[in-house]
Amino acid sequence: MTYRRFKLGLAGALAFLLLAAPAWAAPVKILALGTSLTQGFGLPPGTEIPAVLQDQLKAKGVNATVINAGVSGDTSAGGLSRLDWSLADHPDAAIVELGSNDALRGIDPASTESNLSAIIAKLTAKHIPVLLLGMRAPKNFGPEYEARFNAIYPKLARQYHVRLYPFVLDGVALNPKLNQADGIHPNPAGVKIIVGRIVPDVLKLVAQVKH
């Protein structure tokens, strides 16, 4: 084989690899807009959901930066009010984890739905794919409130055609071994379970990113 033919063959192989590379091979910025669950309340640095998710994505070959836009105690209204500020980072995709504090405070589910709808509408209008992390209402406000609140997330996912993970605390809620002393916020072991369960959906979310 001549040197010229070798160079041509190498160039062709490189071109094939570039064309065959997955859409998420380029750096991807993921906005994690949420509450204390996202912020990492009570957790050592580096063990919060965004940090663990970023590490797990990189371990799978996804070059991603997960932006921690979690605020402890934030409601859906608070998330909506700071959305424009959060978008200043120009994220490629977004994970929305809001509504838990609304439910804990007994806020009218119609208000929560309206705020989450406005957040998703703004993100999708900017062609930012969304993963919506669902929450379930506590039972202390009665079955009617619980049913109305729990219906918000599936409804919005259908309305905006966004990906839904039905319950962010699935497999972790009410397990004392996976939660901090308050019984609400996950400990590092709980975070690992949450992230491990949402990673398949996050990979599908990243695959929607268009560069």
Contact 181, 175 (CB under 8 A): no
Catalytic residue among 74, 76, 102, 185: 185
Kindly calculate the radius of gyration of the chain based on its CA atoms and give it in whole angstroms: 20
Q: Considering 84, 161, 182, 211, which one is annotated as catalytic? A: 182
Catalytic residue list contains 185:
yes
Which residue among the candidates 36, 76, 100, 102 is catalytic per the annotation?
36
C-alpha distances in Å from residue 101, one per residue of 17, 74, 144, 186? 46, 7, 18, 15
Question: Would you say the C-alpha torsion 90, 91, 94, 97 has a positive or negative sign?
Answer: negative
Concerning whether 36 is annotated as a catalytic residue, the answer is yes
Taking residue 138's Cβ as centre, other Cβ atoms within 10 Å add up to 12
Find where tokens 């918000």 sit.
152
Farthest-apart Cα atoms in the chain, separation: 79
Question: Is residue 100 within a helix (H) or strand (E), and if so which, with residue range?
Answer: helix 100-105
Catalytic residues: 36, 182, 185
